Chain A
Amino acid sequence: MRYLFRPPATDGAALLSLPFHLPLEQWDPELLLEVPQRGISRHVVRFTAQGGHVYALKEIPEPLARHEYALLGQFEEEGLPSVSVLGICVDRPDGQDAVLVTRYLEYSMSYRYLFSRPHGEHSAEQLLDTMVVLLVRLHLAGVFWGDCSLSNTLFRLDAGAFTAHLVDAETSERHPQLSPGQRRYDVDLARERVGAELLDLQFGEMLPAYVDPIEVADSLPVRYEALWEEVTREEVFALAEQRQRVAERLQRLNDLGFDVGEIELVTDPEGGARLRVETRVSEPGQNRRELFRLTGLEVQERQARRLLNDLRAYRATLEQKLGTPVPETVAGYRWLAEAYQPVVEAVPADLAGRLAPAEVFHEILEHRWFLSEKAGHDVGTTRAARSYFDTVLPRTPKELTTPSAIVGGRD
């Protein structure tokens, strides 16, 4: 047998003791982890926890495994939202298929969960928009998915909004640029898959009556086209309004979750201008990087923006109290130790792992605002956290608990 692992290889080393010589279906259940949040797969997929991390193992033919391993590696390096690949095991005895190992996307949610109980803010439309953002992002990067479906997409909460991640790249292809035919084919396929997956939920009596699978599926190509047009169109305007139009366009792209690369502005003698922006595929990561620099926390972009705002407020309060300027790195350290960590560490053990710590912190900030409004004065984070743990967090179902928290609790 041969193992191929991407760095850090220590993660891979933890998996070497697993019985890769046996078909996954014959593995001792003791080694495996039940993960309820699952889509539909054509292959045998199992989950295992090693060293506090959870991994997904998928049995597929070697050429497909190598292909997917290489592609997912590329995606990760380029900052495309996809699961992170760890390695493959090939040359297994008796001509068995290869095993592809990916890191489980912690705190992710499957469509089965999200669609079967959509509430107010998590509407079907919102989920579909999130998925369309992912598809547009992939297409901009020259990735033909070839299998875009809800089963192959995982959703994560990011300060109340959703982000979507690609889970399965088995059939994906990388091109310098996609042809219109390739994009349309991918979108048609996605429409059909989404429709079928929602119909399936309907047959399984898991879809709320007000969600119409066909209507939702039919809206996908429309949403896609609108977004594609929005991020790729060339704009023509009068030179006089140049400044405002460029700023508006960039703001709009940022709001949609896209980063902007080069801007090309071509003017003509008649006083008109043509604006072409190169929309980047990666998510804007400015806040993420900033928060990481100051605190070492790795969270998603919107969460980072939220946390940074709190950090800045904390610093201002600190400066006021001390009557002297506080360097931002010092503020970062103290905020982490005095504001953030006490709150996330106070999550009751039986509720741990239901939401990512940064999401919990975000929700507590929301809750604090809500309580303060009602009380007519600031109730403070500690009281807000206590109330949140008592009344809000328990409403997040236990089945959403991320697998590594379950494993952690067992140790």
Chain B
Amino acid sequence: MASIEMRNIVKQYGDGFPAVNDVSLDIADGEFMILVGPSGCGKSTLLRMIVGLEDITSGDMIIGGKRVNDLAPRDRNLSMVFQNYALYPHMTVYENIAFPLRLAKMPDDEVRRRVTEASDVLELKDHLERKPANLSGGQRQRVAMGRAIVRQAEAFLFDEPLSNLDAKLRGQMRTEISRLQRRLGITTVYVTHDQTEAMTLGDRVCVLRKGKIQQVASPRELYEQPVNLFVAGFIGSPPMNFLPAHVEGGRLQTPFGSITLDERRAAAIQGRDLLLVGIRPEYFEDASLVDEAKRPLGSLFRARVDVTEWLGDSQYAYIPYEAPEAIRNQLRDLSRELDAEELRTQAIVSIDATSRIREGREAEFWLDARKVHVFDPQTGENLTRDAEAGARLTQMATEDRVEQVHEAQAQGTTVGGGGASRAGAA
């Protein structure tokens, strides 16, 4: 296991286009880092530079304290997991896991020790003597994982591993990968375009846009304290709503009525005129269902509902709103960049599943003003971000991770991590 440090990494192609532009990122030993962003953001290129598939134009790639820019992929001792794995029909599950070690001519008892260890963690112990033909989809993927584990690689790398699986297996594998990473405590870099995958898997998530890092933070910090419009719009499903707003006497005038901000946020937008206010769907509620005690914390407004979507445990209402052309264009560009389909001049609001609000009718909504963010429409900057609060969220996530890794180590489930089990490693 090792840390991965990137210092001012640039990848420039022949045409001069910088696919990755001055990326500096520290991935801690044992950390699960997600690289996420829409297509063309540079996430896969970055991963390939870690592996050694792409030359690094400038900057330093440091793995386990060693600069690896000029090392061949094989000498970096990393493991690309699930990359087109094959199962061999005449070999037992044991041999299907062991063969990379066989090819490295490792002594039998060391092979046995490593495969046994890996199969314990993977819960494949009872299948070791079987042929792979009868394994389930999930078990097959675990065999592939086993191969990566026995190599005792410095880190696991995943490049959109689940994108070609069906929905059921995808969910299953997500849980599996997350559980294993925790148990093994192995440094992991995982590339995805799917923000849900990013949010559920990572200790920290690195959001990229056009080759540049936008924000590196825990999923909760990204969600609650995004640095800009891009991150705010990318993270969260359904996405954050962006409404045009004018500042009038310290209050925000929006198509959904006026919003009063606390002192800190009011100060941050002082002297501004046209702004974008970002409101997540769950900050809304059917006004008739809001607690008397909570009511004063937000504002009320009436609007006509276009469509409602009842999903059993939750419900969404779609409320169209007017926006000046400049804002409409801006939002259109943003959704295009985020690979999103909707043109966001309608708000998606979450209401209680029991709400009787019906489509085509006007209804009263309550809006929780405490968590809204205000963005500069030109630069996209989040003017009201609370950096300290954000840092606290990421700190909490880090503490959780460290604790889990310690626990795993105490239980002896880490593979190749401790001094003793490291002995056989090359």
Contact = CB atoms under 8 A, between A and B. Distances in A.
B77 to A, nearest CB: 12
Given A181-B54, A199-B91, A217-B103, 13 more contacts: A40-B89, A42-B85, A151-B86, A181-B52, A184-B74, A185-B51, A185-B53, A188-B73, A199-B88, A199-B102, A200-B89, A203-B92, A204-B90
Contacts of B87: 40
A196 B99 contact: yes
B95 interface: yes
A40 B86 contact: yes
30 contacts: A40-B87, A61-B164, A64-B164, A146-B83, A151-B86, A171-B84, A176-B14, A179-B53, A179-B55, A181-B51, A182-B54, A184-B52, A184-B73, A188-B73, A192-B103, A193-B86, A196-B86, A196-B91, A196-B103, A199-B88, A199-B91, A199-B99, A199-B102, A200-B89, A200-B90, A200-B91, A203-B90, A204-B90, A214-B103, A217-B103
A295 interface: no
B100 interface: yes
A176 B14 CA distance: 9
Contact of B74 (A188, A195, A196, A200): A188
A106 interface: no
A149 interface: yes
A195 B86 contact: no
Contact of A40 (B88, B95, B166): B88
Contacts of A351: none
A170 B86 CA distance: 13
Contacts of B73: 181, 184-185, 188
Sort A-B residue pairs by CB-CB distance and give the 9 closest, nearest first. Answer: A204-B90, A200-B88, A203-B90, A181-B52, A185-B73, A195-B103, A61-B164, A147-B84, A184-B72
Contacts of A95: 166
A359 interface: no
B196 to A, nearest CB: 18
A196 B53 contact: no
A208 interface: no
A170 B55 contact: no
Interface of A: 40, 42, 60-61, 63-64, 95, 144, 146-147, 149, 151, 170-171, 176, 179-182, 184-185, 188, 191-193, 195-197, 199-201, 203-204, 206, 214, 217-218
Contacts of A147: 84
Nearest to B100: A192
B90 A185 contact: no
B102 A214 contact: yes
Interface in B237-257: none
B88 A196 contact: yes
A110 B73 CA distance: 30
A184 B51 CA distance: 11
Task: Say what secondary structure dominates the interface of chain A.
Answer: helix
B56 to A, nearest CB: 10
Contacts of A179: 53-55
B264 interface: no
Contacts of B55: 179-181
Interface centre among A64, A147, A203 (most CB of B within 10 A): A203
Contacts of A201: 90
A185 B52 contact: yes
Range, interface on chain B: 20 to 34
Interface string B33-67: 00000000000000000011111000000000000
B361 interface: no
Nearest to A62: B164
A214 B95 CA distance: 14
B105 interface: yes
Nearest to A184: B72
B99 A181 contact: no
Contacts of B83: 146, 171
Contacts of B53: 144, 179, 181-182, 185
A147 B84 CA distance: 7
A42 B84 CA distance: 8
A192 B80 CA distance: 14
A204 B163 CA distance: 33
A181 B72 contact: yes
A37 B234 CA distance: 48
Nearest to A203: B90
B107 to A, nearest CB: 14
Contacts of B166: 95
A197 B164 contact: no
Contacts of B54: 179, 181-182
A141 to B, nearest CB: 17
A204 B90 CA distance: 5
Nearest to B49: A181
A193 B100 CA distance: 10
Contacts of A170: 84
Interface centre among B14, B53, B54, B87 (most CB of A within 10 A): B53
A201 B109 CA distance: 23
A179 B102 CA distance: 29
Nearest to B104: A214
B131 to A, nearest CB: 10
A60 B163 CA distance: 12
Contact of B95 (A176, A188, A197, A203): A203
